[in-house]
Amino acid sequence: MTITPCSRTPNAPKSYATRSRELRLVISGAQQRAMQNAEASADAALAASLAEDLDGNFESVVRRFQDRLFTFSLRLTASREDAEEVAQDAFVRAYRALKTYPAERVRAMALRAWLYQVTLNVARNRLRKKRHPTVSLDGDDAGGARAARQAHDDPSVRPDARFEVKRERADIATLVAQLPDRYRSPLILRYVEGLKLEEVAAILKQPLGTTKSNVHRAINALREAMTESRRAGVR
Amino acid sequence: MIRASKKSTETPAGLERALRRLSREKAPRTLLPAVLSRVGLADRYWRLESPLGPVYVAHSKAGISMVSRASSPAAFERRFAERFGRPVSAEKAVPPASVRALIRNVKGEGRRSLRFDLRDLSEFERAVLYKALEIPSGEVRPYSWIAREIGHPDAVRATGSVLAKNPVPLLIPCHRVVRSDGHIGQYSLGGSRAKRRLLEVEGADPGLLERLAAEGVRYLGNAEQKHFCFPTCGGIDTLVLTNKVRFSSEREALAAGYHPCADCRPLPVAA
């Protein structure tokens, strides 16, 4: 009798492919949890080091969070130029705030959630100013010209994106940024940044139920906006 | 095949995946330098005169971060960015008198009260450098001495490579650390010639050190007090060799009834 590899045995309960897919799912779940734990403890260690020596360790904070805060800003503003300024302002504000906090408070901080919160505040202030631009009386429409230039510079709205996937991604990004703030922020935090609902609620200073229903409504609003934009043939 | 023609984002899971994909963006390279300079944490540098010619001295809020020779300010800025991954710009304020004096004539005291920014180094690397900081002007110690004094007697080679990469030469005087056989050895800030030049400025006699090393002499003994030292130890006047007993190893000195000097510690000295 010859020994056949078990995946080829006809009476094997599951195919090799199925089992390996299941196995991968199991591993990825465990891995994800392990990664989240590792990340949380790295954040705690960083907060402790900031409490010890803010000036010596602040650079590590910027290095660790710059991609995340920049992406978060980019999804909020849909403009790379704005996003860089928002992220920059957020780090500067964070540094100045940390300077004034007592060491115990810094050590106990949920650094990641707090940084998202600071960024969100900076972005909101900025967007508020942008939506109500001051029009100068001498008729010089500098604000409008600047907005047009930004739209032109922003790769997410440039029409020459070559690949379908990329074009679709850019479209979703634009539509997300156009959602009203009460939907946009929870949607980005939950689904783009991948935070837990509890964390999102803490960042937005909302009851968990409110966040939950806003995330839910945000998804519906986004889906509606996508259908509409498809119908209008904007893509 | 109908499903395949459908947009992937039309299913809930597809939409979630599409949203998750929006998270993979890299921050622009200009972000970190802009933040650091706005909060006053960026490194800045002076160009100062040293016995080896002009050198660039960078510092951050934490302390002196780099001393290096370079052909131009731009070349120094490039080297700094390559080594630390952060930018450096020219300092407008004048340097503290102590730093300027130490760079101009390396033998000055006061380097132990300077603050150094060695944040990128390991604990071992910092231990090596701070030990080198203890060697007095005009004296030298071998790599093996540093390794032993910091509790890693077997890490002589590692000690040598840490000193070769010393980010703040001149101020942390790695030029005072020589080969374990007594020869002067190499130097990162301009080779062995520069090292000899610095030792001369400090009053050590590199020619004499090389001659003793070539003869296999590693220690000098004081016949009256019955102790033995490294040739440059302040406790022995190296220029008067006539009354000195020469030893080629610690074992030879011990066998002759000599004790290790408590100042230069050629061997651990009981407290």
Per-residue pLDDT, B46: 97
Inter-chain CB proximity A192 and B16 less than 8 Å: no
Q: What's the order of all strands across the beta sheet hosting B63-68? A: B63-68, B53-60, B43-50, B88-90
Report field, pTM of the whole predicted structure over 0.80: no
Over residues B214-265, the pLDDT tens digits come to 999 999 998 888 989 999 888 555 556 667 899 999 999 999 999 999 999 9
Over residues B88-137, the pLDDT tens digits come to 999 988 999 999 999 998 988 888 889 999 988 999 999 999 999 999 99
| Integer CA distances (angstroms), B191 to A50, A197, A235, B77, in order | 40, 60, 64, 22
Q: Is B51 within 8 Å of B105 (Cβ atoms)?
A: yes
User: Is A68 part of any domain?
Assistant: yes
CB pairs under 8 A between A and B: 89
Closest CA to A103 of A64, A54, A46, A56: A54
Per-residue pLDDT, B68: 97
pLDDT bin (cut points 50, 70, 90) of residue A229 is confident
- Select the more confidently predicted residue: A137 or B79: B79
Within 8 A of B22 by CB-CB distance, chain A residues are 71, 75, 169, 172-173, 176, 192
Per-residue pLDDT, A30: 75
Gap from A199 CA to chain B (nearest CA, Å) = 17
Gap from B113 CA to chain A (nearest CA, Å) = 19
Share of chain B above pLDDT 70, in %: 93
* pLDDT beyond 50 at B11: yes
User: Is A83 part of any domain?
Assistant: yes
User: Is A42 part of any domain?
Assistant: yes
Per-residue pLDDT, A143: 45
- Select the more confidently predicted residue: A151 or B208: B208
User: Is A201 part of any domain?
Assistant: no
Q: Which two tokens stand for residue B259?
A: 């004790």
User: Which CATH number goes with the domain that contains A51?
Assistant: 1.10.1740.10
Per-residue pLDDT, A158: 46
- Per the prediction, chain A carries an average pLDDT of 80
* pLDDT beyond 60 at A80: yes
Over residues A103-119, the pLDDT tens digits come to 999 999 999 999 999 99
Q: How many residues does chain A have?
A: 235
pLDDT bin (cut points 50, 70, 90) of residue B58 is very high
Over residues B191-207, the pLDDT tens digits come to 999 999 999 999 888 99
Per-residue pLDDT, A14: 57
Report the number of distinct structural domains present in chain A.
1
State how beta strands B177-178 and B141-142 pair. parallel
pLDDT bin (cut points 50, 70, 90) of residue A33 is confident
Per-residue pLDDT, A23: 58
- Per the prediction, chain B carries an average pLDDT of 89
Handedness of CA A198, A204, A205, A209 (dihedral sign): negative
Inter-chain CB proximity A187 and B16 less than 8 Å: no
**A44 is in which domain, residue-wise?**
28-132
Handedness of CA B258, B262, B266, B267 (dihedral sign): positive
Q: Which of A129-138, A153-162, A171-180 has the lowest mean pLDDT?
A: A153-162
Q: Which two tokens stand for residue B181?
A: 């056989």
State how beta strands B219-222 and B244-247 pair. antiparallel
Over residues B28-45, the pLDDT tens digits come to 989 998 999 899 888 999
Closest residue in B to A90 (Cα) is B35
Mean pLDDT in residue range B176-187? 92
- Select the more confidently predicted residue: A97 or B204: A97
CA distance B34 to A59: 11
User: Is A106 part of any domain?
Assistant: yes
Closest residue in A to B118 (Cα) is A56
User: Is A118 part of any domain?
Assistant: yes
- Select the more confidently predicted residue: B271 or B232: B232
Q: Does residue B174 have an active-site annotation?
A: yes
Whose tokens are 């968990």? That residue is A208
- Whether residue B14 lies within 8 A of chain A, CB to CB, comes out as no
C-alpha dihedral (A139, A145, A147, A152), degrees to nearest 10: 160
User: Is A101 part of any domain?
Assistant: yes
pLDDT bin (cut points 50, 70, 90) of residue A132 is low
Per-residue pLDDT, A86: 97
Q: How many residues does chain B have?
A: 271
User: Is A107 part of any domain?
Assistant: yes
Helix (H) or strand (E) holding B178: strand B177-178
